[in-house]
Amino acid sequence: MTERVAVIVGGASGIGWATAQTLAKQDCRVTVADRNTELGRRRAAELGDPHAFAPVEVTDEASVAALFDDVAAREGGLDVVVNCAGFSGFGLITELAAEDFRSVIDVCLNGAFLVIKQAGRHLGDGGTLVSLTSLNARQPAIGMSAYCAAKAGLSMLTQVAALELGPRGIRVNAVAPGFVHTPLTEGAAMVPGWSRSMSRTPRWDGRGLPRTSPRRWLSSAHLSRRG
């Protein structure tokens, strides 16, 4: 099988790291892209050659453009992009600082736009672009206005990108997992009742992988297939 070139944005931890490991086992040459330089380099070293690390700040268009320009030049092309970058905060709408609201939107929605924009300039026929949305793209949660709004926006952005990039043979999709225990969700897990409220969502392990078999999970009637 011909090796595919893959970039995992936010690939140093959580679902991103699980994705990087999985694709590395599936004949992909993986670039772990992350703002956490120390952890990202360590992750790339864990994967070993020919995999690599690249720094990126998804809120900075120049940084995102440089990431994909450099990978395409080094590897001779680009086949797979998975954007897992994101974070959340907590605060009631009437108490949440506008700056805190904007910061979540900037990473989860504006950053996703920049990744799709710059990756889309390098992906060719047969390319794949996947964004991580969330169950909260369609399920509201008290205190999570910014995150819910950002992920709902990303869901629609994914559908628009699919319409625009589809004619070039590029598949654009979004995966909307339920609650996943990762370093970035530790704060939410401490909110009273939060874990219980998520008990009906698909079960994921500590690596960000579904505890059920991938085939069973992907064929679930509860999986959102739009986008």
> Quick one: pLDDT at residue 58?
98
The catalytic residue positions are: 147
> Quick one: pLDDT at residue 204?
45
**Kind plus residue range of the DSSP H or E element containing 32:** strand 28-34
Looking at the DSSP bridge assignments, the partners of residue 83 are: 9, 131
Cβ atoms of 115 and 83 within 8 Å: the answer is yes
Question: Mind listing the pLDDT tens digit for each residue in 100-134?
Answer: 999 999 999 999 999 999 999 999 999 999 999 99
Lowest mean pLDDT among 47-56, 84-93, 133-142, 179-188: 179-188
Q: What is the pTM of this model?
A: 0.82
Average pLDDT value for residue range 186-202? 53
What is the secondary structure of 39-90 as a DSSP string? HHHHHHHHH-TT-EEEE--TT-HHHHHHHHHHHHHHHS---EEEE-------
Average pLDDT value for residue range 197-212? 49
CA angle, corner 44, sides to 43 and 47, nearest 5? 90
Evaluate if residue 190 carries a pLDDT over 90. no
pLDDT band for 177, please (50, 70, 90 cuts). confident
- Spatial separation of the C-alpha atoms in residues 68 and 124, rounded to whole Å: 13
Q: Is 155 helix (H, G, I), strand (E, B) or coil?
A: helix
> Quick one: pLDDT at residue 131?
97
Looking at the DSSP bridge assignments, the partners of residue 79 are: none
